[in-house]
């Protein structure tokens, strides 16, 4: 079968549906494909999303995909110092991503985009030396999708960018290994209105253990560690559960995945191929969250795809690379620097940093305000003077 569209989007996670919806709203013919038989399932995510994303990216706050409202975070140092950041407003939500992703695809379809589940991109179509579309398999049957613009929204394991000749190789150090249980937590105190983050070199090297509550006694309990660690993320998570007397006997779901935490793609566009989200490594390197970052990239990319198609000048696609790198890219680079300092800290220094940060503006720190971190840590010069990477 042969199909023709203005834009074909590979991947219906977060970036794909936002971008498809935006372009369909502008009147372009858009086809979004995903290899999953059911969009959103299985998921690989802690499901935490800041509340501001809903308004910013025009997503309805629909009870169907919101498990729980969250009012802040509690951060624990290796020795158990606790830094609590609590707001008197909803700060974020724990989603049900299986429904969220499907609903995002529904919004894209309602805006006019076509959506095909169980359709896997297997290569690119080239005509007279130019990329002309995507070769796919729909329910096992070959499918050729011709389009002016091809969008790689195919996640951390992206192949589309590579097929187009973009070097998206990530060294293991630039990736976190993540492992997560959705589980019932018994005999362990946690405030279900907050997310809980546990730091320590023996707890989660370079990363942290998280509890993202979905209920008063049910949560995503996960861990991210440096991908080049000789031990596995599962090992560290099991160890932490055991040390905290949390029985791993009521596990509802197991999630395993890689999270790019650095190595943002320099080249976000090659000819008529545009790369967004995890495929472009557009993830916050400090906490590993990538949903809001994928939405931001999709918003910028859809603006430039609209410009390029309306002015019939595909060179304009490069505006996406420039705009992303001038704003979001610089912000993520600053956050990466903070991460590079924090990953060198000993447990004693992590204790001192958590104590020092309790006086700092948490919202500024979360937004990657390097100066705010510096101000808080100036009392601990040995932390600031740590050698960088």
Footprint of ligand FAD (CB under 6 A):
10-16, 33-36, 44-49, 120-121, 153-155, 159, 178, 180, 222, 255, 257, 259, 277-279, 283, 288-291, 294
Nearest-angstrom CA–CA distance, 336 and 36: 32
User: Which of left, alpha, beta for 58 (phi over 0: left; psi -120 to 50: alpha)?
Assistant: left
Minimum CB separation from ligand FAD for residue 38, in Å?
10
Q: Helix (H, G, I), strand (E, B), or coil: what is residue 355?
A: helix
Which is closer to ligand FAD, CB of 28 or CB of 181?
Answer: 181
Minimum CB separation from ligand FAD for residue 260, in Å?
8
DSSP classification of residue 89? S
Minimum CB separation from ligand FAD for residue 50, in Å?
8
Minimum CB separation from ligand FAD for residue 289, in Å?
3
Nearest-angstrom CA–CA distance, 202 and 206: 10
Nearest-angstrom CA–CA distance, 64 and 383: 44
Minimum CB separation from ligand FAD for residue 235, in Å?
16
Which is closer to ligand FAD, CB of 298 or CB of 360?
Answer: 298
Which is closer to ligand FAD, CB of 44 or CB of 247?
Answer: 44
Contact predicate 146/5, CB 8 Å: yes
| 250-273 b/e (C-beta count within 10 Å ≥ 16 → b) | eeeeebebbbbbbbbbebbbbbbb
**Residue 333: its H or E element:** helix 330-342
| 34-54 b/e (C-beta count within 10 Å ≥ 16 → b) | bbbeebbeebebbbbbbbebb
Which is closer to ligand FAD, CB of 11 or CB of 205?
Answer: 11
> Angle at CA 114, nearest 5°, toward 112 and 116?
155
Which is closer to ligand FAD, CB of 38 or CB of 62?
Answer: 38
Which is closer to ligand FAD, CB of 299 or CB of 352?
Answer: 299
Minimum CB separation from ligand FAD for residue 57, in Å?
12
Which is closer to ligand FAD, CB of 131 or CB of 356?
Answer: 131
Minimum CB separation from ligand FAD for residue 223, in Å?
9
Minimum CB separation from ligand FAD for residue 384, in Å?
29
Which is closer to ligand FAD, CB of 24 or CB of 291?
Answer: 291
Contact predicate 13/294, CB 8 Å: yes
Contact predicate 7/113, CB 8 Å: no
Q: What is the dihedral of CA 40, 265, 332, 386, to 10 degrees?
A: 120
């Amino acid at each position: 079968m042969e199909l023709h569209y203005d834009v074909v989007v590979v991947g219906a996670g977060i970036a794909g549906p936002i971008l498809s919806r935006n372009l369909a709203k502008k009147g372009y013919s858009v086809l979004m494909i995903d290899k999953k038989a059911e969009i959103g399932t299985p998921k690989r995510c802690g499901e935490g999303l800041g509340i501001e994303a809903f308004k910013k990216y025009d997503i309805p706050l629909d009870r169907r995909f919101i498990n729980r409202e969250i009012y802040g975070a509690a951060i624990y140092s290796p020795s158990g110092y606790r830094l609590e950041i609590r707001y008197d407003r909803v700060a974020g939500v724990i989603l049900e991503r299986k429904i969220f992703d499907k609903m995002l695809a529904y919004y894209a379809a309602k805006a006019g985009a076509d959506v095909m589940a169980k359709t896997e991109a297997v290569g690119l179509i080239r005509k007279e030396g130019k990329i002309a579309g995507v070769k796919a398999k729909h329910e096992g049957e070959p499918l050729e999708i011709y389009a002016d613009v091809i969008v790689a929204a195919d996640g951390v394991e992206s192949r589309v960018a590579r097929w187009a000749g973009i070097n998206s190789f990530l060294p293991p150090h630039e990736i976190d290994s993540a492992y997560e249980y959705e589980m019932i937590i018994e005999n362990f105190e946690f405030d279900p209105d907050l997310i809980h983050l546990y730091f320590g070199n023996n707890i989660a090297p370079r990363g942290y253990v998280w509890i993202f509550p979905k209920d008063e006694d049910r949560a995503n309990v996960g861990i991210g560690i440096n991908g080049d660690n000789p031990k596995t993320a599962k090992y560290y998570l099991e160890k932490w559960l055991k040390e905290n007397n949390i029985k791993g006997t009521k596990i509802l779901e197991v999630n395993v995945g890689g999270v790019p935490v650095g190595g943002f793609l320099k080249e976000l566009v090659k000819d008529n191929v545009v790369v967004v989200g995890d495929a472009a490594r557009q993830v916050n390197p400090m906490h590993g969250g990538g949903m809001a970052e994928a939405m931001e990239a999709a918003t910028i990319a859809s603006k430039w795809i609209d410009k390029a198609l309306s002015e019939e000048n595909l060179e304009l696609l490069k505006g996406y690379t420039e705009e992303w790198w001038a704003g979001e890219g610089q912000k993520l680079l600053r956050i990466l620097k903070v991460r590079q300092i924090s990953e060198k800290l000993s447990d004693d220094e992590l204790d001192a940093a958590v104590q020092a940060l309790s006086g700092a503006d948490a919202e500024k720190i979360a937004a990657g305000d390097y100066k705010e971190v510096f101000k808080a840590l100036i009392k601990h010069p040995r932390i600031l003077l740590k050698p960088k990477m």
